Amino acid sequence: MKRRCTAPEETKPRRSAYDKALSLLARREQSRRELSDRLLRDGYPRSEVVQALDRLSADGYQDDVRFAEMMVRSRAAHGYGPRRILAELRTHGIDDGEIMRQLDALDLDWAVEARAQLRRRYGERPSDAFGERARRAQFLLRRGFDAATVNRVTHATVDDAADSED
């Protein structure tokens, strides 16, 4: 088979930070911090990144409030509690006030949600054994439910659950 000599491939011009960020947003919602980190990691200058993110925000393509709303609904639907959701959104640069507004807007009874997670994980069988209640409490704590809710749902104190880990 004959090989043809070809000229070296011409390098494509690099996309602007705006185009790159718009492409990332076309796949899924992202926070401003997430986009900024990605663009900076890809080597775009900070000034271009800031301009691109400001323009995306002005054009309505990137909105941290919309991102927070989507994440809160998604994480709650997957059985995570408010503390876990709060922690995750903080890593995305969303301020606590906005996170709390979104959590309040959900208007969920977190105790009902915690019970649903227990039923999904452990079935309907009741737990009278201390060790089992502690395991269930730890499960809910890891899912992001607060100590008062865990105590109410499992009838085990958080101290009991912590003692069982040692």
For residues 132 and 161, state if they share a domain.
yes
Same domain, yes or no: 58 and 34: yes
Evaluate whether 49 touches 39 at the Cβ level (below 8 Å): yes
The residue with tokens 């915690």 is 114
Q: Are 96 and 86 in contact (CB under 8 A)?
A: yes
pLDDT digits (tens, 9 = 90+) for 31-73: 999 999 999 999 999 999 999 999 999 999 999 999 999 999 9
Range of the domain at 158: 110-165
C-alpha span between 25 and 8 (Å, rounded): 33
Examine residue 36 and state whether it is found in any structural domain, yes or no.
Answer: yes
Task: Please answer whether residues 79 and 116 qualify as being in contact, where contact means their C-beta atoms are separated by less than 8 angstroms.
Answer: yes
Is the Cβ–Cβ distance between 121 and 153 less than 8 Å?
no
Q: Are residues 125 and 102 in the same domain?
A: no
In a domain, 92, yes or no: yes
pLDDT in tens, 124-139: 877 778 888 899 999 9
Quick check: 164 pLDDT over 50?
Answer: no
Instruction: Give 34-103 as a 3 state SS string.
Output: HHHHHHHHCCCCHHHHHHHHHHHHHCCCCCHHHHHHHHHHHHHHCCCCHHHHHHHHHHCCCCHHHHHHHH
Q: Which pLDDT score is estimated for 21?
A: 95
Residue 142 lies in a domain: yes
If asked whether residues 100 and 114 sit together in one domain, one would say no
